[in-house]
Amino acid sequence: MSKIIEIKDYSWKYINTRNPAIHDINLEIEEGSFIGVIGPNGAGKTTLAYSINGLIPGQYNGVKKGTVNVFGKEVEAYDTGSLQKLVGVVFSDPEAQFTAMTVEDELVFGLENIGLNLAEIQKRLDWVVELTELEPLLEKPPYEISGGQKQRVALAAVLAMMPKILILDEPTSMLDPVSRSRIFKVLARLKEEQNNTVIVIEHSLENLVPLADRMVLISEGTVALDDNTRDFFQKGDLLLDAGIYPPGVIRFFHELHRKGEYSGDYPLTVKGGAKQLRVMKGVRDKDQ
């Protein structure tokens, strides 16, 4: 698969700060992959996300070193508005993303910005409304819907633009567990039906881990760990030292490993964990 994001020796220092927010970043992302980016608060995850979609350095003043290439072209080389057709971003605060009078207007806003005609707008609107189950909310103004609904709208508004790369910056941080699960259901469906490259920055790993092909740990402004999901979570001690708490099932098997009770790959889901326990029980029964 081709590499659509290539970041080489990249660092960014915001103006009036002493140290770079991120430094020595080397990252390559292949088309169609689902990447989870995790790290403690202030590690530089959002800065990295903004660097990929051109908000940095477009909207921020600072000092940049290295290169960030998207589809083979430096982000600064894209004309105003053209990179955003390729890279969509969903931000963490649903309140700050809503700029229109109604949900429907919000979904359509981006499509008008990229110059689509009415027929194409209608087609995409119908598709994204069905995907995100927003039909009952279309006529509602932003202040009449819940936080979870707003975030679904924000996601739908970006999806409607059909970006090749979708970045979600802590999309569920302000949501309750049910709303969080709904967002990830949409992402799961997206992964199944489309070939988008998805980068999700999250703290809630329970929902992210089953979907992610690859995980990246950002710590103290740099990439501390970058591996496929299964191998990533094998490094339990490193993750815990970095302040990352993997999903419960992974922590359980990591504890078993530390006590010498388990030596295999850590299952990533509860279902996988139950299966592994049945296997372990089967082995024990046989031994007895």
Partner 1 sequence: MNKTLLGYVPNESPIYAVHPFVKLYFMLIVSLFPMFVSAPEWNIALMLVIILFMWISKVNMETLKIYIPVAVSMGTIIFISYTVLGGTHPEFELLARFAGINFYWERIRDALVVYFRILPMIFTMVFFLNTSRERDVIVAMRSIKMPFVVTYVFAMALRAAGMVLEDFQIVRQAEKARGYDPAGKSLPYKIRQYVMYMVPLFALSLRRSEDFTNALVARGYAFTGDAARVKRADYILTHYSYKYFDYIFIALISLSFIALLVLRYGFGYFVMADSWLLRLLHGWLS
Partner 2 sequence: MVEEQKSEMTAEEIWTVEEGERRSVGVIHIVITALLIGIGFVVGAFGSISFPLGFGVNFFWTGIAVQQIGAVWFGGWGVIAGAIFPFFSNAIAGTPFYVSLAYIPANAIQAFLPAWVFRRFKLDPRLKSGRDYLYLFLAMIVSSILGALWSVLVVLRSFDLLTTDSIPLFIWGWFGGNVVAGLVFNFILLKALSAVVIRTTAFVKKWWA
Residues that bind partner 2 (CB under 8 A): 13, 15-16, 57, 59-64
By beta-carbon proximity to partner 2, the closer residue of 13 and 180 is 13
The distance of closest approach from Cβ of residue 162 to partner 1 in the complex, given in angstroms and rounded to an integer, is 12
Indicate the residue among 134 and 157 with the shorter CB distance to partner 1.
Answer: 157
The DSSP H or E segment spanning 233 is: helix 229-234
What is d(CA 144, CA 142) in angstroms, rounded to the nearest whole number?
5
Residue 160 vs 225, nearer CB to partner 1:
160
Residue bearing tokens 């995907």? 131
Q: What is the CA radius of gyration of the chain?
A: 20
With binding defined as CB under 8 A, does residue 59 bind partner 1?
A: yes
Q: Which does 62 bind (CB under 5 to 8 A by kind): partner 1, partner 2, none?
A: partner 2
How many residues touch partner 1 (CB under 8 A)? Answer: 42
For CA atoms 145, 150, 152, 156, the dihedral sign is positive
What residues does 199 pair with on adjacent strands?
A: 35, 167
Q: Does 57 bind partner 1 (CB under 8 A)?
A: no
C-alpha distance from residue 13 to each of 19, 20, 58 (Å): 6, 4, 14
Q: How many residues does the chain have?
A: 288
Q: Least distance in Å: CB of 60 to partner 2? A: 7
* Contact track, partner 1, 92-131, x by CB under 8 A: -x--xxxxxxx--x--xxxxxxxxxxx--x----------
């790290």: which residue's tokens?
39
List 58, 62, 66, 210, residue binding partner 1 (CB under 8 A): 58
Judged by CB under 8 A, the stretch of 8-16, 54-62, 236-244, 253-261 that binds partner 1 is: 54-62
Q: Which two tokens stand for residue 100?
A: 């229109």
Give every strand in the sheet of 62-70, ordered side by side: 22-30, 3-14, 62-70, 73-74
SS3 244: coil
Beta carbon of residue 50, minimum distance to partner 1 (angstroms, whole number): 8
Binding residues for partner 1 (CB under 8 A): 50, 53-55, 58-59, 79-82, 84-85, 88-89, 91, 93, 96-102, 105, 108-118, 121, 141-143, 157-158, 161
